[in-house]
Structure formats: structure tokens, C-alpha cells
């Protein structure tokens, strides 16, 4: 989740002042769900007894094709 807080303040510019918008950005990381996803993915590859190169294919390319299919 990314949230931004905006604040306007006066900043000195040349001989006068200018109204400037400043942002404070907060980033919240959700790492637990990603770790569960990776663990389940590796378990599936091991459960299917995939050879090395098919396992690499499953980890690298298959999520791309899933993204294309679900993105439509």
C-alpha cells in the first residue's frame, strides 16, 4: 500500500517566495503473502517431479502467461 500526504509550503525563490507542494510518501510492504506464494510454487514443482529446466520454465515463464490470461 502506497499513500502520499501532500502539504503546501512557501519556499524562498530568488528575491521572493513561491508556493511549493511537498509530498511525504509512505510505502508498506506485505512480504508474508509473497513468501507463502513462493513456498507453494516450489512445493508444486517438487510434487510434480519436474526436471531442472522445466522447473526453471515453471518459475520464470509460467507466471508471465498466467498474468496475460488473467489480465484480459
C-alpha to C-alpha distance for 2 and 14, rounded to whole angstroms: 34
41 vs 30, residue with greater confidence: 41
2 vs 9, residue with greater confidence: 9
- Please state the pTM of the whole predicted model: 0.42
Residue 22 reports pLDDT greater than 80: no
pLDDT digits over 38-72, tens only? 888 888 888 888 888 888 888 888 878 778 878 87
When pLDDT is cut at 50, 70 and 90, the band that residue 11 belongs to is low
In 2-16, which positions are buried (b, 16+ CB within 10 angstroms) versus exposed (e)? eeeeeeeeeeeeeee
Domain residue ranges in the chain: 31-70
Amino acid at each position: 500500500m502506497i499513500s502520499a500526504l501532500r502539504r503546501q509550503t512557501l519556499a524562498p525563490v530568488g528575491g521572493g517566495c513561491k508556493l511549493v507542494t511537498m509530498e511525504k510518501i509512505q510505502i508498506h510492504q506485505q512480504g508474508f503473502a509473497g513468501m507463502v506464494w513462493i513456498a507453494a510454487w516450489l512445493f508444486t514443482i517438487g510434487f510434480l517431479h519436474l526436471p531442472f529446466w522445466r522447473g526453471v520454465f515453471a518459475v520464470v515463464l509460467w507466471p508471465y502467461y498466467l498474468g496475460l490470461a488473467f489480465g484480459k
